[in-house]
Structures are given as structure tokens and as C-alpha cells.
Amino acid sequence: MVSPVTVRIGCGLSTSADPRVSAIEASQQAHTALGGAHADVALVFACGAHLAVPEATIEGVRESLVPSVLAGCGAGGVIAAGREVERGTGVAVWAASLGDGTAEAFHLGVVEGPDVMAVTGLPDLARHRSRSRSRCGLPARKTSSRSAS
């Protein structure tokens, strides 16, 4: 028997000149698309004049959508709800209600060496996978350690 899917996704886009108002409008559109479900995670993308005042954009999303986890970035353009803004000012909000799932925000960094670059800040995915399996009632996977002989 297949269980009903409890994950819902919604998105919104606004091109209002005021960054806070634009974030609120995009967040409200995303919340409507969630069917009124709580936003467990929201991703925010801002472009144009909104890049100068990211705090106002974040404030608008937090005020309107109240997501448990919030992450975002500035971009050269934004896309959501079947629209895109390549030149100009806009805010796109993607939101998800995860049902029994969870989300975690983390910050990635890049360390440059003389001949190589390394990404830092990645969470321990094996630990997350094990926790997810136990929440679903599945046993944790055993890792095998093979040694070369």
C-alpha cells in the first residue's frame, strides 16, 4: 500500500520595488501554494536593487511565512511561479512543508590552495541518513570496512 505524500511545495515571485514588500508578496504566494500548511523550509533569492538591503528581504519572509529554516542568496536573476526576472529587481521564494521530513541550513565555504580548492561546511550526510532511516522505522545501514590484503 502506498502512503499519501505529505510534502507540499509552493513558490512565489514579486517585482515590487520595496524589498520588504516584495518578500512579503512572494512569501504569501508561496504560502497559498502550500495550501495553508506550515513552511518547514524557505529558500529566498533576490536580484537587482534588493541586493543592497538583504535584511529587509529576510525580514519580510520571516514575518510573512514564518519558516522553521530559512536560507537564501543574491542572484543575477530569479525564477518562480512560471516567471523569471533576468534584468531588474525581484524576489523569489520557494517554500516546502515536509510532513515528517526535516531540513537543515548550513553555510558552505571555499578554501583555495595553490593548486586546489576545497569546499568546507558540509554536514555529515552519513549521520543524517542514519537518523532519517530510524525515523522511518528502518534499521541503520551497516558500513563495511574492507582492508586490502
Residue 43, pLDDT > 70, answer yes
Query: φ and ψ at 141, to 5 degrees?
Result: -75, 140
Write down the CATH number for the domain with range 8-97.
3.30.1330.10
* Of 141, 40, 53, 148, nearest in space to 96 by CA: 40
Q: Quick one: average pLDDT of 39-51?
A: 95
Averaged over 37-43, what is the pLDDT?
Answer: 95
DSSP-derived 3-state class of residue 92: strand
pLDDT in tens, 71-125: 999 999 999 988 899 889 999 999 999 988 888 888 888 999 999 999 888 888 7
pLDDT value at 27 more than 80: yes
Spell out the domain ranges in the chain.
8-97, 106-140
**What per-residue string of b and e applies to 54-78 under the rule 16 or more CB within 10 Å gives b?**
bebbbebbeebbebeebebeebeeb
Q: Are 57 and 50 in contact (CB under 8 A)?
A: yes
Average pLDDT over residues 10-26: 96
CA 21 to centroid of chain Cα atoms: 20
Confidence category of residue 26, pLDDT binned at 50, 70, 90: very high
- Quickly state the pLDDT bin for 15 (edges 50, 70, 90): very high
**Euclidean distance between CA atoms 49 and 23, whole angstroms:** 13
Cβ(103)–Cβ(96) below 8 Å = yes
What does the pLDDT look like over 117-142, one tens digit per residue?
Answer: 998 888 887 765 555 544 544 444 44
Which residue did the predictor score with more confidence, 6 or 149?
6
